[in-house]
Structure 1
Amino acid sequence: MSVDLDIALAPERLDEGAAEERAAFGLFTIRTAHGSLTEGFDSFIGGYRPGPLVSGFHVAEWFAWNWWRLCWEPRSASADWSSAHRMASIGEGYVWPDITIYSDGVRTALLSRASARQDIKPFRYTGAPPVVLPSRAFEAAVDAFIPQILARLRDAKLGETNLDRVWRDILAERLDPEVAKRRRLEALLGRDPDSVEDHAIDGLVADARQLGEAAVAEVAAYTAQAAAGTVVTAADLVSLAKGQGYDASPRDAIRLVSGFPLPRGEDVPAWQVGSAAARAVREQEGLGTEPLADSRLAAMAGTEQDVLSGTKRGALNLSFALDKNAGASRIVLRSKWETGRRFELARLIGDRLITAGDALHPATRAYTYRQKAQRTFAAELLSPFEAVDAMMEGDYSWERQQEVAEHFRVSEMTINSLLKNHGRLERDGSDQDVEMAAA
């Protein structure tokens, strides 16, 4: 079910500061049906408010400046990611909420953290549970908020401001399909508009015609996550596939019959899609809950077992299948370890089932919806949770996790993730994939 989001500013009086700041001053709130993400203790009144007193002009500017990145860029290792996604970076002399906002391309997460210090003044934030909602709901909330602020500026008889100019440009870019495509690629690369060399974006747009637009978007997100210095091109992938790949046939890869439909839609978390696909494969193929043999896993991918036992590895930090036609493909795996190669091949099998149509099927470390669905698929296909949980027998120690991982020939990390996904283990503070907790 969708979670509505409301970003609002209730007018308050400010007697000093720039004209734009005074015109758009007020009580700032971000709310869902489950509560406020901006609530805190106001030391001036000695009580709790649903949000702080700030200038909405500054937060509206921040939303506008970072619109493309907020809507499309997943969490990544890019150098300035935090400034584009954390409201605490707005500055301008106000104590802003520590709310981090990012998208996986389909769903948007809002993480509201409590103030680090209990004695902070004038406003101490209490924080709120993570919120994950369809990205269109976040976009709609911003689309409603910024015109509110612009109307306040007009009511104050102010002329055109920087916010007017930036927002007008954003609206025009969104209406132009070609410009919007370029802006999305820039955001996925972890870059601001017009900060990527034209030839690099031109190259990605051209590659999309060859490899598939959605697949190239995944490559762009991988580039940002890996903090790579240069953008990976179709030529790079073709060369790698030729030199380090293994033959495969897409027509021989497993397909789900019509009796096994997968959940779809922006209200469905990626992990549910991947998990449902893995269960459907096991049921369709009569696999039960037993470990999957290398020969069977390779056959599902339309390739031979030597893809798992071989030593050829991709030089890039990603795995992929690159199709030439329905009968010919090349598979490149990254890992040198048996468990890693099995997991990567399972991800590629899942990607064909979940995202059909592109010539390129990439498996990367990016946190896009597609990659998260792949990872869950692979974990559930290779080590079905029902069997894992039965083997654990209530003992979730690291030693027992290792034993179960050896049984299913997966990594200990895979077992640990499954136990967290299904609530057998708590997620720690460093576990930032909040979709499970919020769904």
Structure 2
Amino acid sequence: MPVSWSIAAEWEQLDAGSPEERACFSALGIKAHDLWLTEGNDVLANRLRQAPLLSAYHLAEWLAWNWWRLRWEPRSNSKDWAYAHRLTTIGSGYIWPNLTIFSDGERTALISKPTTERPQTPFRYITDHAVILPASEFEAGIDLFLSQVLERLSWAGIEDSNLQTVWSGVIAERKTPALVRTRKLEALLGQDPDSQEQLVDQLVRDIEDLGLSGVEELAAEHGQSGKLLTGDDLREAAQRSGFDASPRDVIRLPATEVPKRSGLTPAYRAGATAARALREHHRLGEGPLTDVQLAEMAGVVRAIIPDVRGGASISFALDEKPTQGRVVLRSKWRTGRRFELARLLGDRLARPPSGALLPATRAYTYRQKVQRSFAAELLSPFEVVDAMLGDDYSMENQQDVAEHFEVSPLTIRTLLVNHGRLAREELETEFETAAA
């Protein structure tokens, strides 16, 4: 497999430290898409270096220990998230790059930021860049680097290191389907291996009724809210605040027009493509969708949108039979409920359900990002939005367009950011807040 990123180590001499550290001291460079993410100013040598002097052993150990979370855990509000995703937390006396790594399940982000210039600091990183690559290529790059470090340890006659123990365990887990399921759920929860067996056991119990993919999204939601919703919680909310739905009556999209899920395709593009295909296939035109249209398309009664009491901490559809189910919307605002209902519709179309539960959460998984993009494009087609705004991107003009399409102004702003009309302030702009 061609790998678009790499961690390269050129071995150097070190006279102090543990045997592992001395053997794996190196000029260590991280490169992605021909860009050095570790470039910086070496104050002592008075020159730029792409590969600063670091401990390849400590980096490899950190990567091995956090492999599952790096591979599956998206951005979250978990209090210890940074320790599993930011190289600056490695420590051990080295000046590590200000590099953050996380995944949405399909694609992995590597975000490099400059470090602050301080007196007496011999190295300052200067790269300010974000790289996105398929998660499969991220895996391949880690495997290659870890094998390089292990070969170096073997060359130095070092056996039974902690790295060898941890990494051999990860390799064995990756070959065992039941352990893959467990480790992935732990990572989505924002937890280290074997640290939250009770939570994982609860999720596993719900898989039979709700489906694996829906339960994985509940695990990822835990990282945002700190609360784990169980099947019992969802059924109670569906009974209390849900509306009758008929999954069979949901509008359809030919399989040939459903975007393929791929690490090569950004989530926002996959969702927008599905929304445009739906409008074109069913000749919905370019204007705003009414509440009646949206409800009919989603297989629910119109009353679900103006009922602004709010139902649960997340929006979701719970299918009981092909002709029977319940839909719960979270928002207490009409524009929010329209957006959430469109998300659930997009979840059915862009990713046909493989279980009874279709959740719309605050998590940053690929599936959730596809939902948000689908909803934004379906409710406010970008080409029309762009034409209405012209060259006037003022907040007042954005507000007028948002009112025309009955969406929030932030939905319009996010469309403009994703299409390059406005500067992107963050790697990902969160559509979820547009619901408010």
Per the shorter chain, which TM-score range? Answer: over 0.9
Q: 1:279 Cα shift?
A: 0.2
Q: 1:434 to 1:93 in 2, by over 3 A?
A: farther
Asked if 1:220 corresponds to 2:219, the answer is: yes
Q: 1:8 Cα shift?
A: 1.7
The equivalent residue for 2:140 is 140
Do 2:105 and 2:365's aligned partners in 1 also have CA atoms closer than 8 Å? yes
Asked if 1:432 corresponds to 2:427, the answer is: yes
Alpha-carbon distance in 2 for matches of 1:18, 1:122: 23
Map residues 5-404 of structure 1 onto 2, 5 A cutoff: 5-117=5-117, 121-196=121-196, 198-228=197-227, 231-258=228-255, 260-316=257-313, 318-356=314-352, 357-404=354-401
Deviations 1:83-129 (A, max 9, x none): 11000111000000000000001100000111122656321111142
Alpha-carbon distance in 2 for matches of 1:311, 1:15: 68
Alpha-carbon distance in 2 for matches of 1:415, 1:71: 31
Do 1:3 and 1:33's aligned partners in 2 also have CA atoms closer than 8 Å? no
Do 2:312 and 2:329's aligned partners in 1 also have CA atoms closer than 8 Å? no
Do 2:312 and 2:328's aligned partners in 1 also have CA atoms closer than 8 Å? no
How many residue pairs get aligned? The number is 430
Alpha-carbon distance in 2 for matches of 1:417, 1:214: 27
Do 2:238 and 2:327's aligned partners in 1 also have CA atoms closer than 8 Å? yes
Do 1:219 and 1:362's aligned partners in 2 also have CA atoms closer than 8 Å? yes
Alpha-carbon distance in 2 for matches of 1:185, 1:251: 30
| 3-state SS of paired residue (2:158) | coil
Q: 1:284 to 1:127 in 2, by over 3 A?
A: same
- The residue type paired with residue 433 of structure 1 is E
Do 2:74 and 2:365's aligned partners in 1 also have CA atoms closer than 8 Å? yes
- The residue type paired with residue 307 of structure 1 is I
| 3-state SS of paired residue (1:309) | coil
Alpha-carbon distance in 1 for matches of 2:119, 2:267: 39
Do 1:112 and 1:127's aligned partners in 2 also have CA atoms closer than 8 Å? yes
Alpha-carbon distance in 1 for matches of 2:257, 2:285: 16
Alpha-carbon distance in 1 for matches of 2:226, 2:394: 34
Alpha-carbon distance in 2 for matches of 1:232, 1:146: 37
Q: 1:220 Cα shift?
A: 0.4
Do 2:26 and 2:54's aligned partners in 1 also have CA atoms closer than 8 Å? yes
- The residue type paired with residue 377 of structure 1 is F
The equivalent residue for 1:421 is 418
Q: 1:199 Cα shift?
A: 3.0
- The residue type paired with residue 253 of structure 1 is V
Q: Gapped runs of 5+ residues in structure 2?
A: 431-436
- The residue type paired with residue 71 of structure 2 is C
Q: CA RMSD in A?
A: 1.7
Alpha-carbon distance in 1 for matches of 2:200, 2:218: 12
Alpha-carbon distance in 1 for matches of 2:277, 2:146: 44
Alpha-carbon distance in 1 for matches of 2:336, 2:402: 12
Do 1:4 and 1:33's aligned partners in 2 also have CA atoms closer than 8 Å? yes
Deviates more, 1:244-253 or 1:219-228: 219-228
Identity of aligned residues (%): 52
Q: 1:190 Cα shift?
A: 0.5
Deviations 1:208-262 (A, max 9, x none): 121111111001001111122xx21111111111111000100000110245242
| 3-state SS of paired residue (2:378) | helix
- The residue type paired with residue 427 of structure 2 is Q
Alpha-carbon distance in 1 for matches of 2:304, 2:372: 19
Alpha-carbon distance in 2 for matches of 1:51, 1:84: 22
Q: Compute the TM-score of the two structures, normalised by the length of structure 1.
A: 0.95
The equivalent residue for 2:433 is none
Do 2:74 and 2:104's aligned partners in 1 also have CA atoms closer than 8 Å? yes
Alpha-carbon distance in 2 for matches of 1:2, 1:118: 39
Deviating 4+ runs (over 3 angstroms) = none
Alpha-carbon distance in 2 for matches of 1:121, 1:200: 43
| 3-state SS of paired residue (1:420) | helix
Do 1:263 and 1:276's aligned partners in 2 also have CA atoms closer than 8 Å? no
Alpha-carbon distance in 1 for matches of 2:222, 2:32: 33
